[in-house]
Structure 1
Amino acid sequence: MNITFLLFPNLTQLDFTGPLQVLSRLPGAQVALAAKHKAPVPTDAVLTLNPTHDFSDCPPTDLLCIPGGFGIDDAMQDKETIAFVKREGARASYVTSVCTGAFILGAAGLLKGKKATTHWAYHDELKHVGAEPVQARVVRDGNLFTGGGVTAGIDFAFTLAAEIAGDDVAKAIQLGLEYDPAPPFHAGSPDKAAQATLEAMTARYAPRVADFRKALAAAAQGRQ
């Protein structure tokens, strides 16, 4: 199976590295890291990523995965990036995203009429790319798989692994990675966090979401 991850500047590295760690352990997996250029790609957390392919020489994919991050504002307005996502999404057996990567799929027209999820702070914005927002950590609609915010990408990847290779393989990968989460706090989603925590984080995200909405509108205008 050819698995392709889209890389773009200022992506959230865990959106990418969590699913990569799981999916790369699938039997026969061949992973491509595709970017607009082969120069190192900066992430939001010091780590720099090295693409294996650019858009022109990336092999046809069976599974396309789009991570999220603040860099989506520019990525979803970039014509070459969206053309690549459209091309690979049209022939992939699985079209997938983690966190706000869903909006790159949306900019490519791949979420129209589809159930999808994304990071909680951006969830209501999914309707602006034609999707039906669903509150869940992982959402499937046909061959479209979307994961919620950041760490949800790990659960998303195990869901994909089970779909592709069966439950036993997915469970074996889970054991090998010792994925047995036991967080010290139950504050990882809006319905579990204390009200004060939720209000503080909503306020912190507000300027960022406002900028995102402008970028989303610009991306839509650019497609007209």
Structure 2
Amino acid sequence: MPTKRLEILAVVFAGLNVMDLTGPSEVFGSSRIAAQQRRITLASSHDTVTSSEGITLKRDMSLLELLATTADGSMELSRYDILLVPGAPPANVQKAIEDDHNLLTVLRTFATLKSSGGKDRWLLSVCTGAGFLGTVGVLSGKTATCHWSYLDTLRDICKANNASGEETNVVQKRWVDTGRSSTGVRVITAGGVSCGIDAALWILSELYTMEKALEVAKGMDYDWKFGKNEFTEGYIV
């Protein structure tokens, strides 16, 4: 169970799917976790971005600020425990991949961070957000998921960015515990939209307890079936 405040970072970009962001944020920011125990920060290359649904979001900090060195000599990015990567309609994801180089650098850098004080770091993609992870090579040699309509695209992205030579096994699941990066960052990929809530609840069960995750799901009036079924059946690989 975390002994200090849980720091969650979400990277946002033009045309993102807002529920990919707000679903997990509702879980991590639940009123059943004391406010002083968690904080969610939005980072972007732009001061404001508008989601595909037309909702405008204002960033807390820039992506370049995350890569800056702090007074104690550490990178600002290393302050965060969880990095949330939302998805978007495929064309918007592709545009961000092509144009938002700082976003890719943040993801690539976070995946190489070491654990802090023996505590795991988590990299969570939701829906088509897995395309960013595939682009920076995080999914090479691993099993991953995304929105069902994006499965073939993710396979192509992973194949095109496979520096290790190890294929990515892309499957249709609610979420997948994809494994760890070379430095031990835990990588979780979630399926489409609502699956981000399921994955975030599971991460919460790992950070706290299953009882806490079920309590949060109940408070959200969310029928989280994972807690009532076999541990892997139909949900994670």
TM-score over 0.5 for the pair: yes
Q: 1:169 maps to what in 2?
A: 212
1:74 is the counterpart of 2:57: no
Bigger mean CA deviation after superposition, 115-124 or 23-32: 23-32
In structure 1, what residue type is equivalent to 2:150? Y
Give the length in aligned residue pairs.
Answer: 181
Given that residues 137 and 152 in structure 1 are in contact (C-alpha distance below 8 angstroms), is that contact kept between their aligned partners in structure 2?
Answer: yes
Contact 1:126 1:132 in 2 (8 A): no
Supply the distance in 1 between the matched residues of 2:8 and 2:224 (Cα, whole angstroms): 26
**Over residues 98-126 of structure 1, what are the superposed CA-to-partner deviations in whole Å (9 max), with x where a residue is unaligned?**
00000011111111111110011111222
Deviation at 1:180, TM superposition (A): 2.7
**1:17-166 residue pairs with structure 2 within 5 A?**
17-25=22-30, 26=33, 28-37=37-46, 39-58=47-66, 59-60=76-77, 61-70=80-89, 71-77=92-98, 78-91=100-113, 93-128=121-156, 129-130=158-159, 131-142=168-179, 143-166=186-209
Instruction: Give the Cα–Cα distance (whole angstroms) in 2 for the partners of residues 6 and 31 of structure 1.
Output: 11
- Give how far 1:87 is off: 1.3
Unaligned runs of 5+ in 2: 1-5, 67-75, 116-120, 160-167, 180-185, 226-237
Greater helix share, 1 or 2?
1
Q: Percent identity?
A: 31
Misfit runs of 4+, over 4 Å: none
For 1:23, give the aligned amino acid. F
Query: What's the RMSD between the two structures over aligned residues?
Result: 1.8
Per-residue deviation, 1:13: 0.6
Question: Does structure 2 conserve the Cα–Cα contact (< 8 Å) formed by 1:94 and 1:145?
Answer: yes
Deviation at 1:161, TM superposition (A): 1.1
Where do 5+ consecutive residues of structure 1 fail to align?
Answer: 183-224
CA-CA distance at 1:146 after TM superposition: 0.7
User: Once the two structures are superposed, what CA deviation does each residue of 1:62-116 show, in whole Å capped at 9, x if it has no partner?
Assistant: 1111000022111112322211111122227111100000001111111111111
